[in-house]
Amino acid sequence: MSAVIEVSGLSKRFKNVTAVDDVDFSVEENTICGLLGRNGAGKTTLMQLLTGQDFATRGSIRVFGETPVENRNVLQRVCFIKESQKYPEEFTAKHVFRSAPWFFPNWDAEFAGRLIDDFRVPLTRRIKKLSRGQLSSIGVILGLASRAPLTFFDEPYLGLDAVARQIFYDRLLADYAAHPRTVILSTHLIDEVSNLLEHVFVIDEGRLIIDQDADSLRGSAVTVVGTRAAVDAFVARREVLHTDHLGGLASVTVDRLSQSERVEATEAGLELSPVSLQQLVVQKTNIPHQEFEQSA
């Protein structure tokens, strides 16, 4: 595998805000990556830097081995779908899809046609008259049918209902299997996309705090449940990620356990349960669970 993106010492400052803070990472080709983090964590800023839409304050970015800024060689292989996309005043969805092949050399009009039916996009209504979900559908269709070797989706689902989001996930996975490429998906709906992700980046206050293979991340923590005394004794010498107490019961999330530690826990009358990716991200970024769900 080779790296599609290589970033080193990357920072972006806006006056008194450090939106991206000394970040180093690389993205392997043909993977679906999640870029996760709280509101204002720096996700959009990072994507803007990677797609050459903004200048870094410090550090280096290589996309397909070259700097992305004003570099046609790079940008014709990149598709960036974001909610704030602006279209010309008179444009309808039909105009958008007709002009897509000018920007995306791999554009598949037949696939786009099927997606237009799936998402029920009105083709001849002016874009500015469309609902928020219909606008999101246009972005999702562009991102999928562009088949760009490197595709960024920045919270592409805003306004999409549950059915449309599931269609997006299903089509993304099926098309990715048939036409492998690199996809970077920023989302707050972590549990929904959890099964799609092969690699996870978590950014918090501009700093990259998790850069890990999704499978190993999923297995990297476990919740221990039982009486408070038994749980406290078991976790005493371990790094605790999260604790909940309810009366005499305790539920504590700790780092990965070895097989012998699992046996020890069971013998102590404790129950072990897996931790979802969302719980893990919430705990690592210290967000109350509900707040994170509401922000989505």
CB of 13 to ligand ATP, least distance (A): 9
Phi, psi (5° rounding) for residue 161? -75, 175
Q: Which is nearer to ligand ATP, 83 or 261 (CB)?
A: 83
User: Buried b / exposed e across 19-49, counting CB within 10 Å, b at 16+?
Assistant: bbbebebebeeebbbbbbbbeebbbbbbbbb
Of the CA atoms within 13 Å of residue 9, those in its CB half-sphere come to 4
| Residue 19 or 214 with smaller CB distance to ligand ATP | 19
Task: Return the DSSP state at 42.
Answer: S
Q: What is the smallest separation between the CB atom of 49 and ligand ATP, expressed in angstroms?
A: 10
Smallest gap from residue 293 Cβ to ligand ATP (A): 14
Closest CB to ligand ATP among residues 16, 260 = 16
Q: Which is nearer to ligand ATP, 37 or 149 (CB)?
A: 37
Closest to ligand ATP by CB, 28 vs 205, is 205
Distance CA 109, CA 164 (A): 20
- The token duo for 30 is 């043909």
Report, in Å, the least distance between residue 197 CB and ligand ATP: 17
Q: Which residues bind ligand ATP (CB under 6 A)?
A: 14, 17, 19, 37, 39-45
Round to whole Å and give the CA distance between 13 and 19: 6
CA distance from start to end of the chain: 33
Burial environment of residue 294 by CB neighbours within 10 A (0 to 12, 13 to 18, 19 or more): exposed
What is the closest distance, in whole angstroms, from the C-beta atom of residue 155 to ligand ATP in the complex? 6
Least distance between ligand ATP and beta carbon 31 (Å): 21
Residue (38 or 77) nearer to ligand ATP, CB: 38
